[in-house]
Amino acid sequence: MGQISQGLSERAEKVLVDGGNSASRGPRVFKPYPPYIARAEGCRLYDVDGESYIDWMNAFGALSTGHAHPVVVEAASRAVATGAHYAAAIPEEIEYAELIVDMVPVAEKVRFANSGTEACMAAIRLARGHTGRKKIVKFEGHYHGWADSLLLTTNPQPVTTLGHENSPVGIVDSSGIPQGAIEDTIVLPWNNIEVLERVFRDRGHEIACVATEGVMANIGVIHPKDGYLQRMQELCREYDALLYLDETVTGFRVAPGGCIEMYGLEPDIVTYGKAIGHGFPLAAICARAELMDGFGWGKVMHFGTFNAHRVGVTAGLAGTKTLAANGNAGFRHLTEIGQATVRGITEVVASQNRHQILCQSVGSLFQFYFTDLPEITDFRDYCAYADSAKFARFANHLRDFGVYISPSNTLHNCSTLGHSDQEVEVTVKAFAEALKTFE
């Protein structure tokens, strides 16, 4: 590890909380200290000490086109040079909304926001405003941002603290959250349809919406059981609750239409973040026109000086159009590279017997776990059987071999347009070499 990064980390510890501006990127996770990045291009990171890494974290999934993609750079530069933000009507916000409506089957109108957290907050408020109900259902291990009413049971816990699956204990993940903020949030285990059916039978008339990820992407990568999301949708229809699909991670990444397309869903509300901005802070809430009109003046409030920020909208539009060009060729590339990496890692794991490792993936998203389980299907599996401490040690070890992933096992890895078969080959070889010397 480089001396310049070490010095910067020591300075950061003095003036930044946890040595950074998000715990997941500082010295509490990256050991003994994080590499400080000086520049990036394509799928490569270059730190201040002159080391380079193949990046599979990609700003936690926000960079589907990769670092400094020429089309995105040109669009952002043009926007900055002509006025970064006006807080006024701009043509680009219309064009991007039209593209989203064209790509997302359930979207008739769009409202731009600045982050996944903000979009999730607005979606919950819209659901409550539309239905006149208070209760919301969220699932263990699903992260919908750090808003008070949604910050329950998102961090891994000893499985003995979670309670019975039929009556889970909702664990507040932060100090400073008043009881009143969470009393209308019902926390349930995911991928368990029997529990969801029972809750709807008992309280369905109180539920404004069910909030769910299409793929559980904040505990690594966990896919839904066959028919689970479809049955969830049926229950929402039966009890006049709204189905709110959070595609902050999966949107504009796993498929052109995201999980809606992959699983044949028709959610009432869907939100996007991360990849929609191609490296810039941008998010969106989408729904059919009748629902979205609830944001109209004087109904369900959602304002914001930086909504549809000109640089973010212009750059995001350029990036998404690049992915969708030539019959969605960019999206196919993301999936092909992601799956090729998974195959390579799986072959490496099968060729050795020192470590039990499971690799799970959906489209271009993938994560591996140190576990002897054949499959991780929910938050409880992860808490009980995934060795996250061992994963963190390996991720930090893997960086010595030129491969950059987050040491947090709850996060995910992903491909970009900047990755090619060559980077897949190098990554798989590095993975194999790192395992040989890992204890």
Burial label, 158 (beta-carbon count in 10 A; 0-12, 13-18, 19+): exposed
Does the N-terminal peptide bond of residue 32 adopt cis geometry, omega within 30 degrees of 0?
yes
**Which candidate, 52, 27, 47, places its Cα nearest to that of 37?**
47
Please name the helix (run of DSSP H) or strand (run of DSSP E) that holds residue 126, with its range, or none: helix 116-131
Cα-to-chain-centroid distance, residue 426 = 26
Q: What is the C-alpha separation between 433 and 398, in angstroms, rounded? A: 9
**Which candidate, 162, 121, 117, places its Cα nearest to that of 141?**
162
First to last CA, the chain: 19
Please name the helix (run of DSSP H) or strand (run of DSSP E) that holds residue 422, with its range, or none: helix 421-436
Q: What is the C-alpha separation between 436 and 439, in angstroms, rounded? A: 8
Cβ distance 367 to 409 under 8 Å? Answer: yes
Q: What are phi and psi of 270, to 5 degrees?
A: -140, 140
State the Cα angle at 193 between 190 and 198, rounded to 5°.
110
Catalytically active residues are 143, 246, 274
Amino acid code (one letter) for 115: S
Q: What is the C-alpha separation between 27 and 23, in angstroms, rounded? A: 8
| 344, two tokens | 């390579």
Residue entry with tokens 């793929």: 215
- Gyration radius from the chain CA atoms: 21
According to DSSP, the residues that pair with 209 across neighbouring strands are 136, 242
Q: What are phi and psi of 38, to 5 degrees?
A: -95, -35
Q: For the sheet containing 207-213, what is the strand order?
A: 109-113, 283-287, 269-272, 242-247, 207-213, 135-139, 185-188
